[in-house]
Structure 1
């Protein structure tokens, strides 16, 4: 029996551009947490999750309950995590804690077996996983800082330039715009400009719940024949159902469908046609596969949600997506926005024609760059940051910013 001997939890911070969304503005540093799961025979499994204080505290609370367990006993480990976090009311938070540990366990298991993680998930059905260019409205620079290589993107023309540069660099064949930042008419103009500049390229728009039902129905009608899908235009499953009943394109969600328990009402009401999975809060790679089976059962499309992340997460996303036969759409990823910063040794992860080949080698196929980990941990310590706060950051710069949704 191969036992877990230690769980090392390291918070890190890496550069993040001034990206806008419906709730505010990305701060200069994004927070993540890197897990090193030490098992017998000197093998170390890697995991990654958000780096907010709550995530760190929950991982610290379960650490002693994980040490000593068999690295293969995922069901028992999940039970131990649930028991240790019995006082945490939010099931998504409990699942997110287990998810980071599960990925590290699977990485260790696969390293011990000398096979890729995808093999433990039933085997890859595709050699590479397609990802979409993730466009953002953004400022030229954080206040008081030098501009980044992407420059400003607040107009349709600037967004088109951003998309063209991303496609030229990474080969993306799908494009998603994070909306909910400006008035719907302005974002319609942006989508139409992208459609004209990128004929035949699937487009998506995500207003992050910034619209009312009436606004969403109107915009969906105006964008008929233009979008691959419209993501979370409104908040709430009943509100999504009202939009879906009138929309000419599918609606996608990672906001009203966030667990298996939320699937039945979404199906019953016809609220969602595409579920955006995310192993970080769905409960890990195996549960993401369970979600794929449920989606196939109910005829729902499947893609993958993203938030600011590093290479360990990208590798995990790629392995599980490669092992899901029913993956319907290209996945989301923030990875191109990382300004080249990462905690893994370069070379294992790359984009080829908009897709990431499944990393070769055992486990996740990525190795930890210990110097980079130390550097990004030091950046975390120096920052004094504890939580991600897009709203608070923008309010420091624009005190009258109101994050209340819906906004239009």
Structure 2
């Protein structure tokens, strides 16, 4: 009996000859900036612009693939160095791609900095650089084979991916800038109003509050106000690890009948394990378990129940499949973490979630906080309706590059003057007394 492989369609082959590699001929790394509202968090406030880097990979047959990753200056340096190592590599050989990225990082002296902004700084260097290239390779593979990326990841197990409404305490506007359409949200009433708008515009069926901004009792009040307004809505709160064990246990007991899970109440595996033993709520994380090295101690300590995966942390979509397998083996549940992102990352998240059966919570996304005009993909493919997004079925990621938009957002990057995310310094420029502290309460 003969067996047909989809790789046979790449090029004619005679009996006994190997598949012809599909060589990478060019990789462009373009930093971009897009408008970001003044969203508050435990380390400060979002700056007026968020940074991303767009990866455009091209092969000798003219196919291009897209990836998206962090846009901080140190990360850009590493991306460009890795890109030079990948020229002439085979897009169908993820082991080769991974090895070349790691090789490019052997001599990382002089770069400095974590390079990904935000507050999660313990991710794997190799994996966070690999991620954007892995996604671009899969986009190319899908286009060549005529299948969506979800097929390459094992096959779609769902046609729609559910997302949660991501609520933030926020100011009405950045200083000396016009107010945005969301308005201020600095108390329970403001958070409830924000949630109403999220549900009205996007139909979300789960809500998450970014906490760690105000004393815990105030944030508990906000969660209870959400419960009163939306009696059946699954709710979550994420204080980004700034609570002590004692505070986390106290809040956990107060909200045991209200939350579907408690996210990152404390920063360490050891502390979260203490909280988990004292309360009945599941503990979720995207801060104390952010790499494969974190999994053994977290599992041994029984510190977590839910891993909020993020392919930007975990080495792309191929290695996120490995995380999914480990989670199934050890009876961990999965959802997805989100940072400020554009449509390429959103498409990658959707393709991965479509092919990951163990994702059984609505995923996080910052998508509603981004202006529709601020993106680098051709519009019309990705939209949140009734709390979910239809999984694109076109080949690859299912989205296409808008080159004019890419040029416009790159110019916006050049004009904004921001080269690395720094929520704390921006907050201190507005409120000099702001203190960075963890745990805070």
* TM-score bracket for the superposition, by shorter chain length: over 0.9
For 1:269 and 1:113, the matched residues in 2 are separated by 43
Contact 1:177–1:206 at 8 Å: present in 2 too? yes
Structure 2 equivalent of residue 345 of structure 1: 378
Structure 2 equivalent of residue 71 of structure 1: 91
1:360 is aligned, of 372, 390, 393, to: 393
Structure 2 equivalent of residue 3 of structure 1: 23
Structure 2 equivalent of residue 128 of structure 1: 160
Structure 1 equivalent of residue 430 of structure 2: 397
* Cα distance, 1:241 vs structure 2: 0.5
Structure 2: give runs of 5+ residues left out of the alignment: 1-20, 110-121
Contact 1:228–1:250 at 8 Å: present in 2 too? yes
Residue 296 in 1 paired to residue 328 in 2? Answer: yes
Contact 1:88–1:94 at 8 Å: present in 2 too? no
Structure 1: give runs of 5+ residues left out of the alignment: none
Residue 13 in 1 paired to residue 17 in 2? Answer: no
How is 1:7-406 mapped onto 2 (pairs within 5 angstroms)? Answer: 7-88=27-108, 92-340=124-372, 341-406=374-439
* Cα distance, 1:87 vs structure 2: 3.1
For 2:259 and 2:416, the matched residues in 1 are separated by 40
For 2:182 and 2:156, the matched residues in 1 are separated by 34
For 1:193 and 1:200, the matched residues in 2 are separated by 13
The worse-fitting range, judged by mean Cα deviation, of 308-317 and 364-373 is: 364-373
User: CA offsets per residue over residues 53-89 of structure 1, 9 Å max, x none?
Assistant: 1210101111221011111111111101101101349
Residue 134 of structure 1 aligns to a residue whose secondary structure is strand
Residue 155 of structure 2 aligns to a residue whose secondary structure is coil
* Cα distance, 1:248 vs structure 2: 2.1
For 2:289 and 2:283, the matched residues in 1 are separated by 12
For 2:250 and 2:150, the matched residues in 1 are separated by 42
Residue 124 of structure 2 aligns to a residue whose secondary structure is helix
Q: Would you say how many aligned residue pairs link Structure 1 and Structure 2?
A: 408
For 1:253 and 1:326, the matched residues in 2 are separated by 16
For 1:256 and 1:88, the matched residues in 2 are separated by 25
Contact 1:141–1:148 at 8 Å: present in 2 too? yes
* Cα distance, 1:25 vs structure 2: 0.2
User: CA offsets per residue over residues 131-185 of structure 1, 9 Å max, x none?
Assistant: 1000000000000000000000011111111111111111111100000000000
Which one has a bigger Cα radius of gyration?
2
Q: CA RMSD in A?
A: 1.0
* Cα distance, 1:359 vs structure 2: 1.3
* Cα distance, 1:40 vs structure 2: 2.1
For 2:154 and 2:303, the matched residues in 1 are separated by 31
For 1:360 and 1:289, the matched residues in 2 are separated by 19
For 1:31 and 1:43, the matched residues in 2 are separated by 26
Normalized against structure 2, the TM-score is what?
Answer: 0.91
Pair 1:52–1:355, CA change in 2 (3 A): same
* Cα distance, 1:404 vs structure 2: 1.2
* Cα distance, 1:41 vs structure 2: 1.9
Contact 1:348–1:360 at 8 Å: present in 2 too? no
For 1:167 and 1:214, the matched residues in 2 are separated by 34
User: CA offsets per residue over residues 86-127 of structure 1, 9 Å max, x none?
Assistant: 134976122111110000000011011111111111110000
Contact 1:2–1:72 at 8 Å: present in 2 too? yes
For 1:300 and 1:95, the matched residues in 2 are separated by 21
For 1:35 and 1:354, the matched residues in 2 are separated by 29
Runs of 4+ in 1 over 6 A off after TM superposition: none
Structure 1 equivalent of residue 12 of structure 2: none
For 2:194 and 2:338, the matched residues in 1 are separated by 19
Contact 1:311–1:342 at 8 Å: present in 2 too? yes
